[in-house]
Amino acid sequence: MTLFLAITVVGLLVLLGLVVDGGAKIRAVQHADALAADAARAGGQAINVPAAITGATPTVDARAAVAAANASLRRAGVTGTVSVTDAGQSLDVEVTTTTRTIFLGLIGISTMTVHGHAHVTLVRGVTGATP
């Protein structure tokens, strides 16, 4: 009976470790996605004002948008890349961060690297996009 108990306890600890560290990874990915979305929103605020005033298709000032998104990433303490796509009508932000493990640390894996992504597209007006 002692051998059975030992094997069962080890199995339960492994299962508990998967649940705890797996949940931590899910939360870390959600956090990375949220940081990427914040940075993308910050970059999306840097519109090309002269073009917007004339009624042209809304675009971002690419240099200012990338700088604003990168500043948001720096404030959050994460690394990432920002790119302006679709002729200045969209921004993509990729974020990379790490999270500490609890149970996996017992076998030498002390951190997990996670990635987040956000994509924003500029829209005109309050009611929707004008493609």
In this structure, is residue 13 part of a structural domain?
yes
Cα–Cα distance, 61 to 66 (Å, whole number): 9
Total domains present in the chain: 1
In this structure, is residue 126 part of a structural domain?
no
* pLDDT tens track for 37-93: 999 999 988 888 887 778 778 888 889 999 999 999 999 999 999 999 888 889 999
In this structure, is residue 131 part of a structural domain?
no
Question: Nearest to residue 93, comparing CAs of 38, 36, 41?
Answer: 36
In this structure, is residue 130 part of a structural domain?
no
Cα–Cα distance, 72 to 82 (Å, whole number): 11
* pLDDT tens track for 1-51: 688 888 888 888 888 888 888 899 999 999 999 999 999 999 988 888 887
Cα–Cα distance, 93 to 90 (Å, whole number): 10
Q: Is the pTM of this model over 0.75?
A: yes
Structural domain harbouring 64: 2-121
Asked whether the beta carbons of 20 and 105 are under 8 A apart, the reply is no
In this structure, is residue 65 part of a structural domain?
yes
In this structure, is residue 111 part of a structural domain?
yes
For residue 87, what is the DSSP state? Answer: G
CA angle (96, 100, 102) in 5-degree steps: 150
Cα–Cα distance, 94 to 82 (Å, whole number): 7
